[in-house]
Structure 1
Amino acid sequence: MITTVEQVMDTPLGPLRLVASGRGICKVAFVPDTVQPTGGREADDTAPATEDGRRILDMAAGQLTEYFAGERTVFTVPLDLSGTGFQRAVWQQLSTVRFGQVVAYGDLAVALGNPAAQQAVGAANGRNPVAIIVPCHRVVGRNGNLTGYAGGIERKKWLLRHEMATLF
């Protein structure tokens, strides 16, 4: 069993739940309105992975704070993502989309060498476990329309406006 640690941090878009293993960030997700933030908890303080996980959580929280302050455009915190090979390939490709830029699902499919995989790319994008750090909010529809976002379309709009404003 992998030991993880977690915390909830406040952001301009509401609370974010961060989960880390000793290898990297496993999850960054908006806390649903029906769940009250816990302020964080640790699974096992004696495990060496917990110390590493806490260090990684602190790094991620710091980088996210800098992002929301307009001071960070690239994340360097290590990731520990679980998913299929295809999902991980999509998430890796998403990580190449630069701050303030957008890309269409079809563009990601072409970049992955499978232009017909637009729907599969969309499904993998929707399963991204690490919001903001793996920037699934930067993916738009073929005609530039904003499409679904696990955190809600209003948060997606906010994130894109924030990035554009930070660039200028």
Structure 2
Amino acid sequence: MAHVSFATPVGAMTVFAHEDALVALEWGSTAATEATPFLERVRDGLLRYFDGEALPLDWSLAPAGTPFQQRVWNRLRAIPFGTTVSYGALAHDVDSAPRAVASACARNPLPIVIPCHRVIAADGGLGGYSGGEGLPTKAALLSLEGITIPLSKCPAFV
């Protein structure tokens, strides 16, 4: 599968594509392959994201998941750069329960691109995050988008 690895402020990342559709984003790097023009556009867009720009919304995505996960991930893509939504509100939007939504977020194969980091706890705390270094990575991504979660809402950091 075509992929390209690159350094970011939250660690090395590798993006994977199949037939010009993005299928996965993983933390860490892998052996180099020849980057496709599509993967170069994705890499460049992600690097601009880390410079404070919103990601392009026109990338073709093909994440593998259940119909429920796809429904949650589609809703996540509608959360604008620099905003958050609670697990409960997202669950209401997809006619489900907050824990089921959290589970779909945890299985998101395209973190950042499908912005599960923008989903927070009902009390304004971070909630959970399985990408990168976990909650510190989620806090860094939110901060990059201008969102600050008070330390009092982040017991893992205190």
Q: Are residue 26 (structure 1) and residue 6 (structure 2) matched?
A: no
Q: Are residue 126 (structure 1) and residue 123 (structure 2) matched?
A: no
- 1:141 corresponds in structure 2 to 121
User: For each residue in 1:43-68, what CA deviation from the matched residue of structure 2 results, as whole angstroms up to 9, or x when unmatched?
Assistant: xxxxxxxxxx8222112101101111
- Structure 1 vs Structure 2 CA RMSD: 1.7
Q: Are residue 98 (structure 1) and residue 80 (structure 2) matched?
A: yes
Q: Are residue 58 (structure 1) and residue 40 (structure 2) matched?
A: yes
Q: Are residue 9 (structure 1) and residue 1 (structure 2) matched?
A: no
The answer to whether the 8 Å contact 2:16/2:23 transfers is yes
The answer to whether the 8 Å contact 1:94/1:134 transfers is yes
SS in 2 for 1:17: strand
1:33-72 correspondence runs (5 A)? 37-38=29-30, 40-41=32-33, 54-72=36-54
The one-letter amino acid paired with 1:9 is F
Name the CA shift for 1:17/1:73 in 2 (closer, same or farther; >3 Å).
closer
- Cα distance, 1:23 vs. partner? 4.1
User: For each residue in 1:130-163, what CA deviation from the matched residue of structure 2 results, as whole angstroms up to 9, or x when unmatched?
Assistant: 0101000001111111122112111111110110
Give the whole-Å Cα distance in 2 for the aligned partners of 1:73 and 1:83. Answer: 22
User: Unpaired runs of 5+ in structure 1?
Assistant: 32-36, 43-52
User: For each residue in 1:96-152, what CA deviation from the matched residue of structure 2 results, as whole angstroms up to 9, or x when unmatched?
Assistant: 0111111111111111133xx211111001000001010000011111111221121
- 1:34 corresponds in structure 2 to none
Name the CA shift for 1:12/1:39 in 2 (closer, same or farther; >3 Å).
farther
- Cα distance, 1:75 vs. partner? 3.4
User: Unpaired runs of 5+ in structure 2?
Assistant: 148-158
The answer to whether the 8 Å contact 2:14/2:30 transfers is no
User: For each residue in 1:11-38, what CA deviation from the matched residue of structure 2 results, as whole angstroms up to 9, or x when unmatched?
Assistant: 111101110000411101212xxxxx33
